[in-house]
Amino acid sequence: MGVPSPTEGRDFSSGIKTLSVADAPLDAAVAAVGERLDTASTGFLMVFFSASYDAVELGAAFRRILPGVPVVGCSTAGEISAEGLSDGGLVAIAFPRAGFDIVSGVIPDLSRLGIDRGSEAVTSLKADLMRRRPDMQPGRTFAVSLIDGLCMREEAVVSAIDWALGEIPLVGGSAGDGLSFRATSLLHDGRIHTDAAILILVHTDHPFKVFKTDNFRPTGQRLVVTASDPETRTVFELNAEVAADEYATHVGMEADRLSPFGFASHPMVVRVGGEYFCRSLRCTNPDGSLSFFCAIDDGVVLTMAEPVDLVSSVEAALQKLDRDLGGIDWILGFDCVLRRLDAQNRQVAHRISELYKQHKVFGFNTYGEQFRTMHLNQTFTGVAIGRGGTVR
């Protein structure tokens, strides 16, 4: 992918501005954002940042340089920037005051989240948006979720907000911290949150389309979860055998050689409503159990999947978006970290980077993705803004 420039700014016809910062200390990264943006024209700022940055210091710095501008974001498992796939930096996405009306809120204490509290959060945000935009039209609003990627409650979050969102489509990503799996950070107006989710409602005058794409297809090999702990997303047995041993047998590897790269290349899927969704592995444990990124339970039937060409699937999805929108202005993207590992393993990461650069994708690599009513793994999802002008 080459050596990224320290900073690179991009302007789009929708008025959205981005700044990609790489290989810079926190103060320099924040200063670069401050030099590029101003409080007069910036209505809302999203920031996706490397876990190497001190999140508390980052939040405080943004409050100083952009007083009064709402700032939300999260730590990542890698950034999607002006350089395509990048690491160790920061991506800032500034929405203009014209053409976008945006509200956000924090849903705390996910470990104790109930349906009522999630629905109340959505209802409150919708009311805030209506007060700001009393003439808001149906079909012009989308929702974005940023969730603590280690909370193990993403399914509960999506369920809690889905009913209240109604026809508003949801996309989002679970925050990461590289491949450390120790602690992630959510940023909302200068404060840092864990065990929480941030929900953002975006009403826009510009055409948009939410999307998802993956690159796997099911095979005939099935593994049944016969012993698990749903609370920790841990599977102890598959087909009544030690989970890691049984999985390794099906993928043709030794259990002690399993790694995130192997998980990325040999996914498992579950069938829901006639469609297959990935249930990705996070790690093996000393007792031979397997930890998952998604909900799991006894009796779940997992199907081994085989990958299809990653580059072709991404290219086809982005080309379709371009046709559907009459041209892409900008894309907010959430791409599973396992897809990135798979691209590196297959030595096509540079080609994925070029596609993201070509189609103006900005976002981050996630520990999980949200799309409408589902929490997903090993998927690329997001929302694309069209360059066809404002909707009449």
The pLDDT tens digits for 73-106 are 999 999 999 999 999 999 999 999 999 999 999 9
Number of neighbouring beta carbons within 10 Å of residue 87: 19
Q: What is the pLDDT of residues 216-255, one digit of tens each?
A: 889 999 999 999 999 999 999 999 999 999 999 998 988 8
Do both 365 and 354 map to the same domain?
yes
Q: Which among 266, 282, 307 is the end of a domain?
A: 307
- Find out whether 110 and 157 touch, Cβ atoms under 8 Å: yes
Q: Output the pLDDT for position 259.
A: 84
Domain boundary among 285, 307, 329: 307
Per-residue pLDDT of 326-345, as tens digits, reads 999 999 999 999 999 999 99
Mean residue pLDDT of the chain comes to: 93
Q: Do 316 and 242 share a structural domain?
A: no
Domain range holding 103? 1-213+308-392
Do 238 and 368 belong to one domain?
no
Confidence of residue 390 (pLDDT cuts 50, 70, 90): low
Question: Alpha-carbon torsion 251, 252, 253, 255, what sign?
Answer: positive
pTM: 0.92
Q: Using CA atoms, how far apart are residues 332 and 360, in angstroms rounded to an integer?
A: 9
Show the CA angle centred on residue 184, arms to residues 23 and 190, nearest 5°: 80
User: Tokens 């609370």 map to which residue?
Assistant: 231
* Together in a domain, 178 and 244: no
CA gap 378, 392 in Å, rounded? 36
In this prediction, residue 2 carries a pLDDT of 42
262 lies in the same domain as 365: no
pLDDT of residue 276: 85
Same domain, residue pair 339 and 243: no
Tally of domains in the chain: 2
pLDDT digit string, tens, across residues 102-135: 999 999 999 988 888 888 999 999 999 999 988 8
- Find out whether 356 and 321 touch, Cβ atoms under 8 Å: no
Task: Inform me whether the pLDDT recorded for 4 exceeds 50.
Answer: no
pLDDT in tens, 194-208: 999 999 999 999 999
Is residue 202 located within the same domain as residue 248? no
**Where is the domain boundary, 252, 283, 307?**
307
Does 5 score more than 60 pLDDT?
no
- How does pLDDT run across 52-64, given as a tens digit for each residue? 999 999 999 999 9
CATH number at residue 251: 2.40.30
Q: Give the distance from CA 48 to its chain's centroid.
A: 10
In the chain the first and final C-alpha atoms are separated, in Å, by 41
Q: Can you tell me the distance from the alpha carbon of 88 to that of 364, in angstroms, rounded to the nearest whole number?
A: 12
- Do 197 and 221 belong together in one domain? no
30 and 173 co-located in one domain: yes
Interval 136-159: pLDDT, tens: 888 999 999 999 999 999 999 999
For 241, other C-beta atoms within 10 Å of its C-beta total 14
Is the same domain home to 242 and 291?
yes
Contact 55, 146 (CB under 8 A): no
Q: Let me know how long the chain is.
A: 392
Same domain assignment for residues 203 and 258 = no
135 and 194 in a common domain: yes
Average pLDDT value for residue range 346-360: 96
Is the per-residue pLDDT at 391 higher than 60? Answer: no
Instruction: Kindly report, residue by residue over 292-306, the tens digit of the pLDDT.
Output: 998 899 999 999 998
